[in-house]
Amino acid sequence: MRRTWFAELYFFFGLVLAALLGGWSTGGIAWWLLAAVTILMVRHGWQLRKLERWLGSGRQRNPPESWGVWGQVFDDYFRLQKRYYKRKKRLGKVIREFRESTAAMPDGSLVLDGQFHILWFNAAAERMLRLSSKRDLGQSLSNLVRNPRLSAYLAAGEFEQPIVLRSSVDETRSLSVRIIPYGSNQYLALFRDVTRMLRLQAMRRDFVANASHELRSPLTVLAGYIDSLADDPGLGIHWHKPVAEMQQQCQRMSSLVGDLLELSRLETEEPDPEAIDPVDVSAMGARIVREARLQDAEDHQVEFHGLAEAGLLGVERELHSAFANLVLNAIRYSGSGGTVQVTWRLEDNGQGVFEVSDNGIGIEEKHLPFITQRFYRIDSGRGRSKGGTGLGLAIVKHVLSRHGGLLEVSSEPGQGSTFRCVFPAERVTVEATRDIAQT
């Protein structure tokens, strides 16, 4: 028991003892006890009055002077008040630092509540979206930035990836919008001007497309003359090897131009809903394998197993390009006589998987995040010697993205690689479950 409680008990019992002694000496014990109770009530009432005045004094820090339990109450409350002021000061400092940091950001930053109403925004957001603190605080973001894509983005609640919108203030500018959930049902909205980046990307795509178109015609002419030269019976024997080398390099350049044009088309053209048809993946896979065997000069064992009546909703030409790239890559990076397994199957959750496995050289783990980048090569010498352009997996990635699919890769150096094209269940069409196999 605290010392203060002992003091309070000593006072109480002392007062009662004094009342008993006074009552015994005068013969009026009841009156003396009533007087003792009155003294106690007056003391506690006075202490409550002091507490009320202290609490109502606003920012006065020093507690009233007292003893016993009331002194302890005043001291404990004073300590709690000091801790509260310290926490409040720290919180205010954090809020000021947050506002200063976000105000200094070049990106437009807005703090939103659970219904996407604006609670605060920085100077960049004010300039970028033409907001006013007097007019727009408390307004819904979708009411101030009127764009169907933003409304659908907020309604979907899937904020893993940003979206790009045309600015409602300046139609010539593009804004990247990202919503970041934090705290208790609050959001941070970030608006970034990506106009310059998109223009640079468009310039790059246009340059690649135009350069590829300009190269195609002279390459066609050059290839025709080289083929005619190779077929000339009067060609000296010492020219056979140089001409064959020219044919090989010309064919490689033609493949490179073709891949560049295809990649440019995939990046610039929006998917055409009218071009989407049911695709017989099993028949396509079998055809790709037959074509690969005809091109294979190293006697690889290429096998295909597929679900006969399971298909995909997509663009057949694009899917053929992606699957053929994977099969040719598997052959290209497998040793002579290696095995390539091509499979088309359905998972238990209804997803479709086109899988290409080989027992070739494999890929080190450090290369896996970069293999779908343009011209990224693990072994540049081997890739060029095998006729690769360095664009095949970039094409695969873009085709799968246009079909809602994902590319999964697993590989071990010296053990081979497995590439899986995973398509969502809503893209899969199934009429039967009869397996076919071609070996």
Task: Decide if 139 is inside a domain.
Answer: yes
Are the C-beta atoms of residues 332 and 388 closer than 8 Å to each other? yes
More confident residue, 246 or 375: 246
Q: What's 226's domain CATH number?
A: 1.10.287.130
Considering the domain architecture, whether residues 293 and 398 belong to the same structural domain is answered as yes
Q: What is the pTM of this model?
A: 0.56
Q: What average pLDDT does this structure show over 15-28?
A: 76
Give the chain's radius of gyration (CA, Å): 40
More confident residue, 16 or 148: 148
Give 3-state DSSP helix, strand, coil % of the chain, rounded to 5. 55, 20, 25
Helix (H) or strand (E) segment spanning residue 409: strand 406-412
pLDDT of residue 438: 44
Task: Decide if 100 is inside a domain.
Answer: no
Q: Structural domain of residue 151, as residue ranges?
A: 105-193
pLDDT at residue 26 greater than cutoff 70: yes
Tens-place pLDDT, residues 225-275: 888 888 888 777 888 888 888 888 888 888 788 777 777 777 777 777 777
Q: How far apart are CA 355 and CA 343, in angstroms?
A: 5
Considering the domain architecture, whether residues 375 and 302 belong to the same structural domain is answered as yes
Cα atoms in the Cβ-side hemisphere of radius 13 Å centred on 45: 6
Q: Which two tokens stand for residue 235?
A: 């060609």
Which of 268, 289, 305 is the endpoint of a domain? Answer: 268
Q: Which two tokens stand for residue 101?
A: 């940091």
Considering the domain architecture, whether residues 358 and 325 belong to the same structural domain is answered as yes
Considering the domain architecture, whether residues 298 and 423 belong to the same structural domain is answered as yes
Are the C-beta atoms of residues 363 and 371 closer than 8 Å to each other? yes
Q: What's 360's domain CATH number?
A: 3.30.565.10
Tens-place pLDDT, residues 124-164: 888 888 888 888 899 999 888 888 889 999 988 888 889 99
More confident residue, 426 or 204: 426
Question: Is residue 175 very low, low, confident or very high in pLDDT (cuts 50, 70, 90)?
Answer: very high
Considering the domain architecture, whether residues 400 and 381 belong to the same structural domain is answered as yes
Considering the domain architecture, whether residues 303 and 347 belong to the same structural domain is answered as yes
Considering the domain architecture, whether residues 427 and 281 belong to the same structural domain is answered as yes
Which of 94, 120, 144 is the endpoint of a domain? Answer: 94
* Residue 382 neighbours by CB under 8 Å, 6+ apart: 333, 361
Task: Decide if 294 is inside a domain.
Answer: yes
Give the chain's mean pLDDT.
82
Tens-place pLDDT, residues 92-111: 888 788 777 777 778 888 88
Which of 162, 193, 224 is the endpoint of a domain? Answer: 193
Measured in Å, how far apart are the chain's first and last C-alpha atoms?
Answer: 89
Q: Are strands 310-314 and 352-358 parallel, antiparallel or unpaired?
A: unpaired
* Measured CA distances, 309 to 109, 282, 340, 429 (Å): 51, 8, 23, 8
Residue where the block lists tokens 């071009």? 275
The helix-helix angle for 29-55 and 3-26 (nearest 10°) equals 150
Considering the domain architecture, whether residues 382 and 399 belong to the same structural domain is answered as yes
Burial of 300: CB neighbours in 10 Å, binned 0-12, 13-18, 19+: buried
Q: How far apart are CA 8 and CA 4, in angstroms?
A: 6
pLDDT of residue 434: 44
Considering the domain architecture, whether residues 359 and 258 belong to the same structural domain is answered as no
pLDDT at residue 170 greater than cutoff 60: yes
Task: Decide if 99 is inside a domain.
Answer: no
Number of other residues whose CB lies within 10 A of the CB of residue 260: 21
Task: Decide if 301 is inside a domain.
Answer: yes
Considering the domain architecture, whether residues 287 and 433 belong to the same structural domain is answered as yes
Q: What's 149's domain CATH number?
A: 3.30.450.20
Beta strands in 194-338 (DSSP E): 277-279, 301-307, 310-314
Q: How far apart are CA 399 and CA 209, in angstroms?
A: 18
Tens-place pLDDT, residues 181-233: 988 889 999 999 999 988 887 887 777 777 777 777 888 888 888 888 888 88
pLDDT of residue 422: 93
Considering the domain architecture, whether residues 279 and 386 belong to the same structural domain is answered as yes
Q: How far apart are CA 436 and CA 429, in angstroms?
A: 17
Task: Decide if 179 is inside a domain.
Answer: yes
Residue where the block lists tokens 């196999």? 437
Domain count, the chain: 4
Are the C-beta atoms of residues 230 and 245 closer than 8 Å to each other? no
pLDDT of residue 95: 77
Task: Decide if 140 is inside a domain.
Answer: yes
Considering the domain architecture, whether residues 146 and 284 belong to the same structural domain is answered as no
Q: How far apart are CA 434 and CA 439, in angstroms?
A: 17
